Structure 1
Amino acid sequence: MREISWAICLACGAAFAANAQTSAHIVAQASVLKEVVVSGSRNEQSPDDLPMTIDVINAADIEEGQIHDIRDAAKNIPNVSVRRAPARLGVVQGDTGREGNAGFNIRRLDGNRVLMMVDGIRIPRSYAFGVNSFGRDSLSIDLVKRIEIVKGPASALYGSDGIAGLVNFITYEPADFLKEGKTIGGRTSISYSGDDKGLTVSGTVAARANEVLDLQLTMAHHKASELGNKGSNEGVGATRTAPNPQKDRGNALMAKAVVNPGGRQKHVITFEHVDKRSAYELLTARSVPLVAITSVRSAEALTTMDRNRMTWDARYKVDTAVADKLQTVLSYQDAESREYAFERRNGAADRARDTYYREKTLQASVQADKTVRTASSDWVQKFTYGLDHTNATITNIQYGITPAAGEAFPLKRFPDTRESSTALSVQDELTSGKWSITPGVRVDHFSIKASQDGFLAPAMSLSDSAVSPKAGVLYRATPEWSVFGNYASGFRAPNAGQINAFFQNNSGGFYRTIPNPNLKPEKSKNIEFGARGRFENLSLDAALFYGRFSDLIQDGVLVSGVFGSASNPAVIQSVNIDNVTISGFEIKGFMNWGKFAGGLVSTPFSYGETRGRVKNTGRPLDTIDPAKLSLGVKYETAGWDVRLDASHHSAKKFSDIGAQQIGTAPATTPQFAVPSATTLDLNGQWRLSKAVRINAGIVNLTDKKYWNWFDVRGVAANLAALDSYTQPGRHFNVSLVADF
């Protein structure tokens, strides 16, 4: 609780200082107040006008913080994290690190319960089966100018998969580079990241062909090595703690055409391509010593991601009786992930697995908004309503050599599946004086149709509907303070792999994974209360939240039988098993202390803490990360600035771990509970001119050895290779950015 006291004292002291000081309103504060987001209401709106918690990472944050991927993006956001375990995988055993940056955890739910989008278009979900696991990092930060994080259920606006929240990556447009009357402009940059020896080169060119047409082309190339850690054992085998050697390559391309045929319409046509490739030498998979014929002499792996998207986003000013503005979006996306692993054995046949997962998605929507004012009342109503349709074809297939007993390649872990969803949504924002009231509801109908072709088990289909209401209230108590309350419900439909997962081991292990056509959608109800303070020198946001989540789907549940029993083999399914409650609070902001020695001094701060419990068992929820406190000091002049950030990572108490024992009885061991740690980061920017900037930083300044809980969940406390899960030690980041 000591960290809570620090956060409360800091906020109270800052608020007192803000009222006592009368220094001029600085430019940084003004820029924050003018910021707009689109994810909270599907319209451009100031986050201060929304009755919900939204975190925004803008272009300056991305550049100065040297954010290279989603893991970096989550670093300083309270109650948000991204899992990235070390790559310690084998061909038919171990799923650790296969997914890379696995995806976001928001208020302590993760995976496909967090909706991820680029420009409002859904990106592929994660997929895991057995040892295969595909993450959600199929995007490039080099294309992104703003990241919007909505905390809490977002199903009333976006439907399934937003049960915990959403992350929307907004990409650049030509107008971002064609300011001050330019007809041609752009940006080039080169950056180096010391945690993985990553080098990124990117460039953007934008041009105004005429009054109607703007064009933009962005290209980026990235290469890197393995993510560093504090492990010192560079040998081979399971006790190795140094990272496995790894080579990463990635490319990104975005082309945009913005057509303005008249003042009453705008068309944005976007093509986006992202590909990523990682090649591993799996030294940890080697057998030591080489005694059995099945001992592994060498192993390597290759993972790839490719995503292509084409989107037509059209906006019209129609000024009719039913709509003032109209937006239509049509998008097609083709995304494929691949994992290949190969091992040479001492005397037995070599083994290989080549696994593909693919989503081809068509997304279409139409949205209208209408503002209504009445002479007899000072209430103003803004109606937003629309129709969304998504149609996705999801496939998987595995090739290889030396299959498991009873299987033959090629094979499918779930049947080819067509998932479709159609939804109607409506929202009414009522505003009068100091009050804003925003009710809304969305009705979704979804279906999952599975094909029997090439699938060994009976292919099951499913269809269902969900109603997702929400209601928010915002009260602007004074010019400085506003308070809000928000109720939101959410749901997540089961996916193709959960309904129809199939695997059969007829020798040795004697177990099988079978379909479950009776899965129900996951559901949630969430309440949030918050306050915002906007003073001359202080920005302060605080929120309390409580959520009830029911019918959560748990994969890989033993529903009958015994492992290793030929007469009573184990049966595994995905089932609705968990009912969970999650509660917590967070506080964030910054304090401007005024001028000192010719520069401005400010203090950014944030703190987040969450508690969760599985009602079925009474045990803690293991996706809950320990509390984290971040406190910084920034000194800024016209030509340069420097910032020192301290982050305190609280310990994970053993009593707060639900699955305290790892393994199968009687051979169980306690799970590792991470100790607390405090790290320091030093960053700065030198503005050589109006158009040229150098950003540099030292991360983990004191070279602290520490672990993140979200990377070590499920790891035994007595693991010999525990240091392989540590975070990178002290390293340097630097980038050069030039506008033209």
Structure 2
Amino acid sequence: MYGYANHFRRLAFAGAALTGSVGFYTPLAAQESEPPGPTELGLVEISGDRYGTGIAQPLVRNRISTASQSLPTAVSTITEEEIRTLNVDRDISNIYRRVPGVVANNIDQGDTGNGFRMRGFATNGTHGADVAVSVDGVPQNIPSSQGGAGHGPVFLEWLTPQMIKHVDVIKGPVSALYGDQNRAGAVNIETLDGSDVASSIGVDVASFDGQRTNVVLGGEHEGLASLLVTDLYRTNGYRKAAENQRDNYFWKLSKVIGDAKYSARFSHYESDFRNDGYLSLPALKAGTVGRRDTDNLYGFGNANRNTYVFNRSPAEGEAGLYYTAYYEDFRRVRGISNGTNTHNYGKDDRDIYGGRLAYNFVYEDTASLMVGTDVRRDKGDAFRQQYRNFQPTQNFYYDFDMDLITYGVFAQGQYKPIDSLKLLAGIRHDRFDYDIDNLKFRDASTGYNSSVTTPRFGVAWTPIDQLELFTNVAQGFRSPAAEYISSGSSSALPLRDTGGQINGSVRPSKVKSYDVGFTLRPTDSLSSTTEFYYIQNDSETVQTSPGVYEQVGDTTRKGLETSVNYQATSTVSTYISYGRIIDAVITNPAPGIGARLVVPEHTYKAGVQYRDGFMGGQVTLNADAYHLGGIPYYVGTGRKTMPAYTRYDLRASYDYSDYQFSVYGTFQPHRYGSEVAYGTNSGLVIVPQPSTTLGASVRYFF
């Protein structure tokens, strides 16, 4: 059975912050008899420190390794220990709150996707597109979604913090292991094994009728590890019609057999929600509408997702065979109010299955080569229909029956000609084989075949132990959406046998990214990473006339990110980061829109953590600050600036014996500040945020 005392010593060495209803905790009763004392700890890890601690680990970019941290770019790793110190609450996107330069949030319209913006990509409406997200090797981006979430959205509401082992945020399309949507970068999430956790039950209550009950059953018997997580969440929300009921179930079995580790997992997610729409900022300021009111009809939706995954990896080291196989049925609907009595009702009803096969050849600490192939098939219906008075009409905005198959082959090699220098080179070739049946415009039904090749090259150099330099040039791509290939009027119209437009010349959109940066670790308690990037895209897909999409768009993105981690004392650690978008420009924008992308110019993040023994237990205090500024929006072609958005997160936890108690709060002082806002012809519309959200939790370990 799992060794609690040994696990606690491991966490203390790693500087783990043990807090919150969102985490696992080794009971103090299972420790040795000495009272808990000060331990070194850390809030976040930025690029290179795999273990998320305040203690500086050896620089790792020049290692021969498949780990994300070995890539010649900025990588942020979020560990399970760090997630415990965050106010995740109802939105799993909050796990990214401390990652430099990243803006991530649910759009506060129910379970409608996880927004993720990085490096000037992925505005609010794309829900994480342009970032390739995978969980245990399974791609999470949904191509050609019609549930009101665009092309390539990511839905991570099925995850709870108790399932996550670590999250790697990779800046830039540097790794050849990730395919479609890898333009801004990639996110790799790995789930926990049963041997990693202690069994527990937790209850959490929060403002606006937030209620969460969570049961974790983890353990190991004769080498078979099992993790079962049940999570039930309910809330009435801040706005009048904001309600959400979410159920998550997760079961994972893991076992080492011979020289391989095998795992099989099943997850079931379902939700049912209502949501208020957006409100006009001018009307809010004029007092003609209240912050908790509903504009027109309320929105609604539900989702159901079952996923089956089987993995194999080497039990020891990184050399050897890897494979992943998966299947999921994905059902999701969302009704978006778009009039006094109408909804834009979107539905995805998809069966998704695929896998990856790869082999990693390793020659000591000098060279490695991973070669592999992956395939994904996405088959099903995706449509948007007009609803009137909550009933379907005969009019459709889009209606596709799709069979989308993507094949990929990849290779990525690393070589160290000398001990301080590592070269990385990779290449991917991806092919798309689509069968698109356009039920709205039958004449636009078509097959589609295309392919794309994207190379990568990078260098990591460690001239001295305290300094690491890195640079890379890499290409990433995004597949074309079904509505780009088979298009027509987006107005609500009946299904017909004629009409529509086939744009067979549309190709995957490629970007080329240039990065240069460095990491400094002058002492064991201080580390800093700075990176500059320049991204070009001369093949952005734009609508050049009604129903016609072509690759004629040019975009340029320039920016920098810098971060500092400092272990001030054995009980206090701090971090601070700044992200700046210098340029995010469309060279040839479509008529009637602005020339600049809707991304924040400035992103500031900072925090401090205190952790020490107290009255026979352990107290952990966290304070985080988050600020967005300089976000443009457009009324026609006129450029304006959204209100600034600032958020403060406070959390206090006390661990005593087999119990863990936490209180937390989120404070947002700007009355009209919001992470979710859109420019319209009549002005800015926003989702109002509560100024204060409070919560408390208790967890019992057994």
- Counterpart in 2 of 1:156? 176
The code of the aligned residue for 1:356 comes to K
Q: Secondary structure at the match of 2:181?
A: coil
The code of the aligned residue for 1:391 comes to R
The code of the aligned residue for 1:163 comes to R
In 2: Cα distance, 1:660 partner to 1:282 partner = 20
The code of the aligned residue for 1:59 comes to E
The code of the aligned residue for 2:538 comes to S
Of 640, 650, 656, which residue of structure 1 is paired with 2:629? 650
Q: Identity rate of aligned residues, in percent?
A: 17
Q: Is the strand fraction higher in 1 or 2?
A: 2
- Counterpart in 1 of 2:695? 733
Q: CA deviation at 1:217?
A: 1.4
- Counterpart in 1 of 2:121? 109
The code of the aligned residue for 2:247 comes to N
Q: Does structure 1 conserve the Cα–Cα contact (< 8 Å) formed by 2:277 and 2:687? A: no
TM-score (norm 2): 0.79
Of 218, 225, 229, which residue of structure 1 is paired with 2:229? 218
- Counterpart in 1 of 2:360? 369
The code of the aligned residue for 1:434 comes to S
In the alignment, structure 1 residue 695 sits paired with structure 2 residue 662: yes
In 1: Cα distance, 2:356 partner to 2:62 partner = 15
- Counterpart in 2 of 1:238? none
Of 262, 286, 306, which residue of structure 2 is paired with 1:267? 262
Mark the CA change 1:684 to 1:46 in structure 2 (over 3 Å): closer, same or farther.
Answer: farther
Q: Does structure 2 conserve the Cα–Cα contact (< 8 Å) formed by 1:629 and 1:648? A: yes
In 2: Cα distance, 1:590 partner to 1:189 partner = 31
In 2: Cα distance, 1:52 partner to 1:201 partner = 39
- Counterpart in 2 of 1:73? 95
The code of the aligned residue for 1:225 comes to N
- Counterpart in 1 of 2:308? 310
Q: Secondary structure at the match of 2:641?
A: coil
In 1: Cα distance, 2:295 partner to 2:664 partner = 41
Q: Does structure 2 conserve the Cα–Cα contact (< 8 Å) formed by 1:428 and 1:438? A: yes
- Counterpart in 2 of 1:192? 205
Q: Secondary structure at the match of 1:156?
A: coil
What are the Cα deviations for residues 706-733 of structure 1, in whole angstroms up to 9, with x where unaligned?
424x5223146856xx6x5343312213
Q: CA deviation at 1:352?
A: 6.7
- Counterpart in 2 of 1:231? none
Q: Does structure 1 conserve the Cα–Cα contact (< 8 Å) formed by 2:518 and 2:531? A: yes
In 2: Cα distance, 1:711 partner to 1:305 partner = 22
In the alignment, structure 1 residue 416 sits paired with structure 2 residue 384: no
Q: Does structure 2 conserve the Cα–Cα contact (< 8 Å) formed by 1:448 and 1:463? A: yes
Q: Secondary structure at the match of 1:728?
A: coil
In 2: Cα distance, 1:643 partner to 1:504 partner = 48
Of 318, 331, 335, which residue of structure 2 is paired with 1:336? 331
What pairs with 1:525-564 in structure 2 (closer than 5 Å)? Answer: 525-534=512-521, 535-554=523-542, 557=543, 559=545
Q: Does structure 1 conserve the Cα–Cα contact (< 8 Å) formed by 2:384 and 2:399? A: no
Q: CA deviation at 1:438?
A: 1.0
Q: Secondary structure at the match of 1:188?
A: strand
- Counterpart in 1 of 2:377? 391
The code of the aligned residue for 1:173 comes to D
Q: CA deviation at 1:221?
A: 0.8
Q: Does structure 1 conserve the Cα–Cα contact (< 8 Å) formed by 2:242 and 2:275? A: yes
Q: CA deviation at 1:339?
A: 2.3
Q: Does structure 2 conserve the Cα–Cα contact (< 8 Å) formed by 1:245 and 1:282? A: no
In 1: Cα distance, 2:333 partner to 2:178 partner = 28
In 1: Cα distance, 2:444 partner to 2:467 partner = 59
Q: CA RMSD in A?
A: 3.9
The code of the aligned residue for 2:136 comes to D
What are the Cα deviations for residues 605-624 of structure 1, in whole angstroms up to 9, with x where unaligned?
11111131112259653232
What pairs with 1:714-729 in structure 2 (closer than 5 Å)? Answer: 714-715=679-680, 725-729=687-691
Q: CA deviation at 1:550?
A: 2.3
In the alignment, structure 1 residue 608 sits paired with structure 2 residue 579: yes
Mark the CA change 1:707 to 1:84 in structure 2 (over 3 Å): closer, same or farther.
Answer: farther
Q: CA deviation at 1:441?
A: 0.9
Mark the CA change 1:342 to 1:546 in structure 2 (over 3 Å): closer, same or farther.
Answer: closer
What pairs with 1:637-716 in structure 2 (closer than 5 Å)? Answer: 637-638=612-613, 639-652=618-631, 657=632, 660-662=634-636, 672-676=640-644, 678-689=646-657, 691-700=658-667, 703-708=669-674, 711-715=676-680
In 1: Cα distance, 2:181 partner to 2:338 partner = 36
- Counterpart in 1 of 2:5? none
Q: CA deviation at 1:126?
A: 6.7
Q: CA deviation at 1:457?
A: 3.5
Unmatched segments (≥5 aa) in structure 2: 1-37, 281-293, 494-498
What are the Cα deviations for residues 683-706 of structure 1, in whole angstroms up to 9, with x where unaligned?
2222223x53223222227x4424
Q: CA deviation at 1:202?
A: 1.3
Mark the CA change 1:300 to 1:643 in structure 2 (over 3 Å): closer, same or farther.
Answer: closer
In 1: Cα distance, 2:209 partner to 2:160 partner = 17
Q: CA deviation at 1:369?
A: 0.9
Unmatched segments (≥5 aa) in structure 1: 1-24, 88-97, 178-184, 229-242, 286-295, 374-378, 560-570, 663-667
What are the Cα deviations for residues 456-508 of structure 1, in whole angstroms up to 9, with x where unaligned?
3321222111111111111122222211112111111102233224447599x
**Bigger RCO (CA 8 Å, 6+ sep):** 2
In the alignment, structure 1 residue 276 sits paired with structure 2 residue 295: no
Q: CA deviation at 1:216?
A: 2.2
Q: CA deviation at 1:60?
A: 1.9
- Counterpart in 1 of 2:189? 169
In 2: Cα distance, 1:157 partner to 1:389 partner = 13
**Bigger shift: 612-621 or 112-121?**
612-621
Q: Does structure 1 conserve the Cα–Cα contact (< 8 Å) formed by 2:203 and 2:699? A: yes
